[in-house]
Structure formats: C-alpha cells, structure tokens
Structure 1
C-alpha cells in the first residue's frame, strides 16, 4: 500500500478554488453554445449532439466537484486502478472499436453512449506517471524511471496501434513536459528525446499512409492540394478571417452554417469561433484557456508536495498541448491531427475527462496551504 498523507480538518467550501472553477464553467458554457451553432444544420438540428454535450457537461461538473473533496494523495490508489481499467478498454477497443472511417479505431459504441478510452487514459496516465516522477525526484531513480517508461509505453503503444497518432503525440508531449518541468536528470530527458527521432522516422516511412503524410505536408503548403489534403486548413482560415473584429454573430456564419468547413463541431471548432464571434470572441476563448493554464501553474508552484505539483503540471500540459494544436491546425501553423479544443469541442468523453483533470487540480488547490498529519494505510 502507498503511504498516504491526509489533510485533517479541511473546510472544502472555504478552500474551494472558485476562481478556477468559474473560468472552466464559463469556457464550457461558451463551448456548448458554439457546438450548438456548429451542429445546427444537421438533419436533426444537432439535437442528439446537444443532449450528449449537455450530459457530458453535467457529469463532468459533478465529477470535478466530487474529486475536489477527495484528498489528492488517494489518487495514487485511484490512478493505479484507473490505469488498469484504461489499458483493458484500450485493448477492447482494438477488437470491438469503431471509427476506422475517420482514420482510427478509437471509439467504443455502448449503445446509449460512445466512449473514447484514450481520453480516460490521459487522466490515468498523469496520475500514474506522477507517482514515479515523485520517486525519481526523491532519489529513487533507476527502478522508478524504468517503471515510468514501461507504464507509459503500454498506454502510448496501444493508442498508436489504434492508428490514433494525434492522441499518441499528445501523450508523448505531456510526458516530455512533465519530465522537463520536474527537472528530471538531463541524461534521462535526452535519452527520451533521442528515442523520438528514430521512432519518428520509422513512423514516417513504414507506418503513416499517404493521407496522413498529406496532412503533415499540407500545414506547410496547403495551397499545393487545395481540394485534397489542404482543403480543411484553407476553409478553416477563410472562415476565421471572414469573422473580422466582431464576427457575423452566433448561428450566422456563412462558411460554417453552409457546411463549408469540415468537422467544424470538433477538430475545427475554432473556425466557428473565429467566423461567428470574430477576433473579440476568439480572444475571450484564448484568454480563458490561458487563465486556466496560469492558474494551474500557480497551484503547482504552491502545492504542499511534489506529487500534487507534478499532477497539476501534467494537467496543465494536457490542456496546453490540446489548445496549441487545435488552434494551430485551425490557422494553418500546425498539422491537422484531430485534437479537440479543451472544454469547447464536441465530444462528451473529452469533456468529462477535462473536468476530471480539473477535479485533480481543485483537490490540490484546496489543500495547498493546509497542515499535514501523517497516517498510514
């Protein structure tokens, strides 16, 4: 069993991080409205997606509040269990999953809901990786680093087998951010970065098909194939640019409401924001995301211990990578990878996962200044 430090006599209502939670609620509310606009032209008026998104929002908020009440030290045990469940689901999705028509077998259709196991695995990954990084920082380096690589490789490898290369890159980016911020000895960090180079070459020449290579090339020269690989990027840029300062108004976008922008409810949701809410609306969304990141960094810096700090850094890394990649591919400066914008893009699983991650941060934040009483389990 893990040695768990407990916070005694905590008043969670008094210590709850209302500032962070309010920013997340405002962002997710705006996200729901934008998704509603993006799906309005569907055959059912976007009703099914709206219900799914609203359900994800309610479940996510509930889980975030519940997790804020749990002492984050208990996440060592909970994270280990969630890791095992995530691995099992990632294996199951390889056999029974769907979504190959979209490029990767990443979803499990449960009838009443569609689950994306790789999203849940992100939270489990952060929790488990934080355990080993804490041990490395406390001097238990060799054995802990080997276990860290092993546990990380299992998750990332299963996601790669799904052919969900965008999500696998998110995992690797989160991992490297956590290593770098935690000031892991440079030899470990360099060895990880060095390993990425041959893996990248192998994937380019032997794993990626021409369609995926085209996505990478199109972000540099979308005009080379305006009706093929570069189509999504060009349409997205046109939509964002046409919004100008104030935008055309919610539900009033010409490009987005006439289905000229593909996958506008998730991958290219920022195109809807840019066209319908304009530069001002885009700045508001970016500011809220940036504020959440800054708040996470502040909480990590003031955490009562390394484990809490590392977990919050992992959450911040996850949100940052998703934010930069989604907005970057929408404006044509990063490759198209199908990465959603946190708390904004359509996808109930992703929304619930993001709220779970915020629940971790809220738990750490509520206990960052409390006196610790040691107890063993």
Structure 2
C-alpha cells in the first residue's frame, strides 16, 4: 500500500497532458497548414522540414524542462537575463539583415539562423518575475525602478533592430504581470497621464517611418492601397473568401496564388486557415488557443508560490499577445506588426521558444503541492 506521503508525491509529480497535447495538436495543425501555404513556394519543402525539426527539438527541451524544478530557473534568471541582453547586443553588431531588419544570428556549425529576441522573452519573464516576487513581500520604489529599467533595456535594443511587434510583446508582459500583482492606485493615476503625454514623443523619436506608415494605413487603408495597406486589404479579402467550410486545403484561390497575400507562411498564415478551412477551421484553431491559454492561467492559479504564478502569467501574456496580435492584423482589426502565430507560423526560433515556454509552465504544474490560492484544509 502507498503511504500518505507517497500519494502526495504521486500527486505532486504529474505530467500535464492537457497542456502538452493541446500544444502538440496546434503544432500538427500548423504544419499541415504550412504545407499548403508553401505549396507554390520553391523553398516550401525546406520551410516545412525546418518547422518539423524545430518542433521535435522543442518537444525534447519541453519534456526535459518539465521534470526540472522551476526554482532552478529562478536561481539562474539573472544570468539568463544578462545572456539574453548580450545576445540582443550581438544581433545589432553581428546579426544578419533581412528585409531591412537585423534580427537574426547565424549559428556557424549548422549554418542556421535564430532570433535571440524570441529566446530572451523567456529569460525576461523568469527574471522580472523574481523582482515582482520581491515586490509582493515588500513594496518599495527601488524595486519598481529596477523592473522599469530591466524592461526598457531589451525593449530599446529590440526597437533598434527594428522589431516593434516584439518590443510591444515585452511591454504587454510587463503590463499583465503588473496588473495581476496589483499596484497602488496613485501610481496608476500618475502613469496614465504620463503615458498619454509621452505618445507624441514616441511618435517623433521612437517609431520608425515604416511603423508610422503601417499605423496610418491601418487607420485609413485608402491612403496607400498598393503599398502599406496592400497586405491588410489582401488579407481581409482572403479571410472573407473562406466563408463557412472553406475552399479546401491546397485549393485556396488567394493562398495558392503567387500574387496572393504576402508572407502567408508566417505573418499572414491565418488567412490561409480562414480561406482554405473556413469559419469551422478558424474556430478549431481559436478553440485550441483558448484551451492553451486557460490551462496556463489555471496552472498559475494552482502554483505553490508567487514566483511560479508570475512566471506562468507572464508566459500566458506572451502567448496571448502573439495570438491576438497576429489574428487581429490578419482580419484588419490591428496594425501589421510582424508578430507570428505561435506554433503555427513558420519560424524555427519561435517554435523552439514557445515549447521552452510551455516546458517552464509544465514544470510549475508538475512541481506544485497545493495551489497558492487553495485552502489548506
């Protein structure tokens, strides 16, 4: 017979099949859609193979991280954050420029590129959550200033690449963790006017010309229908053509056209889903997304300590922002930002990063005894 302690231990170390299977199904769904999205692309087969290889690598890392106690990540978070910042600096100095952006580093041995800002998101969440944990024990302005500075550093480095969508992801993560943590109303009331007042300065000195063009074209697509607004107009038309059941995989009028939606294998892959699988396929995708997000929130709620809760919420915020931003820009509800659709868009760095994030959340789920918000009785 099992002793009481054995039962507790068995309950404590439990693989989170719900989260893992949801993510795995979304990845398989994404690879199937990617096969269709790249069918007319000469490099399509390579894209799909890289995606599959990245998924396999990501799953391996995810499973390993799952069995590690997440407090190890906490103890290493400062070093990981510094390493991430060094990677971002290295990108600006040694990175490969593609389509006007310097976002990738080449790994010499295997001659593969990866995007450091993707991986640094995880390091940032692990690091910043430790400071919010300190803030929950003792509220002081010094810790708030540190959190602000530790956020501004990667955001500014990423803006220099430039990659506005990625920089906004970091800010959204900070906002969500801050909201969950709770701060005195006086700081909120002081921060809102300051943020509004800073908008003209951000517009003039921070945003690049192409950021401004994208925003203006989003507000009024008629300003440049064959230029900046072309992607949005094409995407909107493609999404609408799918109707209820879609036109079928590999049969999309726009998806299979060389003159269709640009960057349909990554930024605009949702248009392929909507056109070829229709409303039903889109609902299936969104259902899987919601299952993943709610499961991450549940794990945060059940976390045994405040650090695990903040990390899980931070990763949930990262995924949610990318899901919302990508789908939003595909249906013309948000400006184009180049944010990928997690587990679906082509991109090896992103795929591995998202699986690392899931592995961390699964570690929090596995190594919990009693939820932080659960009664002890």
Instruction: Tell me the TM-score normalized by structure 1.
Output: 0.91
Task: Output the CA distance in 2 between the equivalents of 1:371 and 1:93.
Answer: 40
Match of 1:105 in 2: 102
Deviation at 1:368, TM superposition (A): 2.4
Task: Output the CA distance in 2 between the equivalents of 1:370 and 1:65.
Answer: 22
* Unmatched 5+ stretches in structure 2: 1-6, 373-377
Match of 1:214 in 2: 213
Q: Which residue, 69, 72, 81 being the options, matches 1:71?
A: 69
> What SS is found at the alignment partner of 1:292?
helix
**Count of equivalent residues:** 363
Per-residue CA distance 1:16-75 (angstroms, 9 max, x = gap): 11011110000011011111211121124x121112111110111111111110111111
Deviation at 1:370, TM superposition (A): 5.3
Match of 1:292 in 2: 292
Is the contact between residue 136 and residue 184 of structure 1 (CA under 8 Å) also seen in structure 2? Answer: no
Deviation at 1:9, TM superposition (A): 8.1
Match of 2:4 in 1: none
Match of 2:93 in 1: 95
Match of 2:3 in 1: none
Task: Output the CA distance in 2 between the equivalents of 1:52 and 1:202.
Answer: 41
Per-residue CA distance 1:153-182 (angstroms, 9 max, x = gap): 211121112221111111101111110011
Deviation at 1:100, TM superposition (A): 4.8
Task: Output the CA distance in 1 between the equivalents of 2:26 and 2:19.
Answer: 11
Instruction: Tell me the TM-score normalized by structure 2.
Output: 0.91
Match of 2:339 in 1: 339
Is the contact between residue 125 and residue 314 of structure 2 (CA under 8 Å) also seen in structure 1? Answer: yes
Say yes or no: does 1:83 pair with 2:81.
Answer: yes
Say yes or no: does 1:226 pair with 2:220.
Answer: no
Per-residue CA distance 1:339-362 (angstroms, 9 max, x = gap): 011111111101111111111110
Is the contact between residue 12 and residue 369 of structure 2 (CA under 8 Å) also seen in structure 1? Answer: no
Match of 1:368 in 2: 368
Deviation at 1:13, TM superposition (A): 9.7
Per-residue CA distance 1:304-326 (angstroms, 9 max, x = gap): 11000010000110011101110
Say if 1:10 and 1:201 are closer, same or farther in 2 by CA, change over 3 A. farther
* Unmatched 5+ stretches in structure 1: 1-7, 373-377
Match of 1:247 in 2: 246
Match of 2:309 in 1: 309
> What SS is found at the alignment partner of 2:227?
coil
CA RMSD of aligned residues (A): 2.1
Match of 1:329 in 2: 329
Task: Output the CA distance in 1 between the equivalents of 2:187 and 2:120.
Answer: 24
Task: Output the CA distance in 2 between the equivalents of 1:85 and 1:11.
Answer: 36
